[in-house]
């Protein structure tokens, strides 16, 4: 445990009533902020609400250097993977994408960056600096707004006010907008392109989309959040019939699987993309690293020949074992449920993810057999790094939490950290996730 963490927890213990009152204040602030919202037109949906703990996540400058190297290395690997996919039929065959998706992936966006927005989720060991990959996120990468707001809410944390630690925070929203504008202006060759921010809005993290819209408008851009199904195309431009605005560029937050599931509903959007009449921040080639299949493909000799020897060693050291879930592999998976986690090849938000450690022994074999040959992969389950933290609004007090560290990469550069904790085997909102602000200690702290 870092000294600042010990000081923090000691202060809580010595000022328990004051700390409890502070935790209530932070919780009320979250509930009265954009971080609590209801999905529009979904009366049965449970409101989305950020839950937190009273101790932030502290990383060292060495951790920051480790994160920068991690992000640079994987970004280089992904640049080479995307290029290999586009040029080598043998590599394309590894991913088993549909013809519709292959056609979209072949389209070039017109800007230099291979992946405008990437988040690499890792299980990071704070004692050793070692890590294993959880997953890679490109389409729909989110939580930048949540991160920035939760740092702002630290001002109400009594321990923060008392200790005044020497730390820095890496803001995400303005750097995100900087990265998007760099790409979109490069591709459109316009100083102020008109921008749509688009998703299937019932699936979107709306507070963040509207915050991005506001940041762009504050900089003098015409920018609008619009449902991707509402866009129309006149053969020249993509536009919104509701607002009458014609767009030069679009920030795609709709994940690729949602796009493929609604092809008939978004024909105007797709036609404009195929005819090169709209620039996408988040071109479809980003699906190559986003797909869960990447966990298998990176181990294939056909793909590894495009990497340096150092990159191959990096992959072998940091990616968990992964393979298709078939009736043949199911026999191996059923033998030791605690060693495996099952994921859909295309998905997000931990939907349809099953960790053996969270399931009863009697249920595991039936689950595994039922998912075999239905588009799932199996990955080696990585024991999570655990750190002590405290929920002052819950009954458990101080206890260990599993950590998941999300590393943002904007146009190839490390941009910040998203720290999530849970007392379950999967760190996700539906599995008791808690989000805490991430801070970097100054030198020698």
Residue 347: its pLDDT value, please?
Answer: 61
Q: Tell me how crowded residue 317 is: count the other CB atoms within 10 A of its CB.
A: 10
Smallest CA-to-CA distance from 250 within 205, 212, 289, 218 is with 212
Helix count and strand count (H, E) for the chain: 17, 22
- pLDDT at residue 351, as a whole number: 65
What was the pLDDT predicted at 417? 98
Helix (H, G, I), strand (E, B) or coil at 74: helix
Radius of gyration of the chain (CA): 22
CA gap 250, 108 in Å, rounded:
14
| pLDDT, position 17 | 96
The closest alpha carbon to 332, from 281, 272, 380, belongs to 380
pLDDT at residue 380, as a whole number: 87
pTM of the model: 0.92
Q: How wide is the angle at C-alpha 234 spanned by C-alphas 233 and 240, nearest 5°?
A: 50
Domain boundaries, the chain: 3-294+384-441
Report the distance separating Cα 250 and Cα 430, nearest Å.
30
Write the CB contacts of 196 (distance below 8 Å, at least 6 apart in sequence). 223, 224, 225, 226, 231, 238, 240, 247, 249, 250, 251
- What local confidence, expressed as pLDDT, does residue 349 receive? 54
Is residue 121 within 8 A of residue 5, CB to CB? The reply is no
Q: Which residues of the chain have pLDDT under 70?
A: 40-46, 346-351, 424-431, 444-445
Residue in 148, 147, 118 with CA at minimum distance from that of residue 135:
118
- Express each pLDDT in 96-111 by its tens digit: 999 999 999 999 999 9
Cβ 303 vs Cβ 316: under 8 Å? no
Give 13-45 as a DSSP string.
Answer: HHTHHHHHHHHHHHHHHHHTSTTEE--TT-TTS
Burial of 70 (C-beta count, 10 Å sphere; 0-12/13-18/19+): buried
Burial of 313 (0-12, 13-18, 19+ CB in 10 A): exposed
Name the helix (H) or strand (E) containing 390.
Answer: strand 386-391
- The b/e string for 136-147 (b: 16+ C-beta within 10 A; e otherwise) is bbbbbbbbbbbb
Helix, strand or coil, per DSSP, at residue 331: helix
Q: How far is CA 317 from the centre of its chain?
A: 22
Count how many Cα atoms sit within 13 Å of the Cα of residue 335 in the half-sphere of its side chain.
5
Does the domain made of 3-294+384-441 have the CATH classification 3.30.1310.10?
no
Q: State the pairing for strand pair 376-380/386-391.
A: unpaired
What pairs with residue 440 in β-bridges? Answer: 59, 168
Cβ pair 44, 51 in contact under 8 A: no
């Amino acid at each position: 445990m870092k000294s600042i963490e010990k000081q923090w927890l000691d202060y809580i213990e010595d000022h328990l009533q004051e700390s409890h009152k502070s935790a209530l204040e932070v919780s009320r602030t979250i509930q009265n902020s954009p971080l609590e919202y209801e999905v529009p037109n979904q009366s049965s949906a449970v409101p989305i609400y950020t839950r937190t703990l009273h101790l932030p996540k502290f990383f060292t400058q060495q951790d920051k250097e480790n994160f920068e190297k991690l992000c640079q290395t994987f970004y280089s690997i992904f640049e080479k993977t995307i290029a290999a996919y586009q040029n080598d039929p043998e590599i394309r065959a590894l991913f088993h994408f549909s013809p519709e998706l292959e056609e979209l992936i072949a389209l070039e966006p017109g800007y230099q960056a291979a992946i405008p927005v990437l988040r690499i989720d890792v299980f990071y060991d704070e004692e050793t600096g070692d890590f294993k990959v959880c997953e890679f996120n490109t389409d729909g990468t989110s939580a930048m707004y949540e991160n920035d707001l939760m740092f702002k809410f630290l001002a109400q944390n009594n321990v923060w006010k008392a200790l005044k630690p020497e730390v820095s925070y890496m803001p995400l929203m303005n750097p995100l907008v900087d990265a998007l504008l760099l790409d979109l202006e490069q591709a459109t060759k316009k100083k102020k392109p008109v921008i749509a921010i688009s998703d299937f809005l019932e699936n979107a993290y709306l507070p963040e989309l509207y915050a991005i819209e506001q940041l762009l408008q504050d900089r003098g851009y015409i920018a609008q959040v619009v449902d991707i199904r509402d866009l129309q195309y006149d053969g020249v431009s993509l536009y919104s019939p509701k607002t009458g605005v014609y767009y030069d560029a679009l920030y795609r937050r709709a994940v690729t699987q949602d796009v493929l599931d609604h092809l008939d509903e978004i024909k105007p959007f797709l036609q404009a993309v195929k005819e090169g009449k709209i620039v996408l921040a988040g071109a479809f080639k980003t699906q190559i690293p986003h797909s869960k299949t990447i966990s298998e493909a990176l181990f294939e000799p056909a793909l590894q020949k495009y990497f340096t020897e150092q990159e191959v060693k990096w992959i072998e050291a940091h990616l968990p074992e992964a393979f298709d879930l078939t009736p043949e592999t199911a026999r191996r998976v059923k033998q030791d449920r605690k060693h495996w986690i099952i994921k859909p090849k295309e998905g997000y938000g931990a939907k349809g993810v099953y960790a053996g450690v969270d399931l009863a022994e009697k249920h595991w074999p039936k689950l595994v057999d039922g998912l075999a040959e239905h588009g799932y992969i199996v990955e080696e389950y990585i024991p999570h790094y655990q750190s002590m933290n405290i929920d002052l609004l819950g009954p458990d007090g101080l206890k260990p939490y599993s950590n998941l560290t999300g590393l943002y990469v904007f146009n190839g550069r490390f941009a910040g950290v998203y720290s999530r904790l849970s007392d379950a085997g999967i760190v996700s909102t539906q599995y008791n996730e808690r989000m805490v602000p991430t801070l970097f200690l100054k030198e020698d702290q």
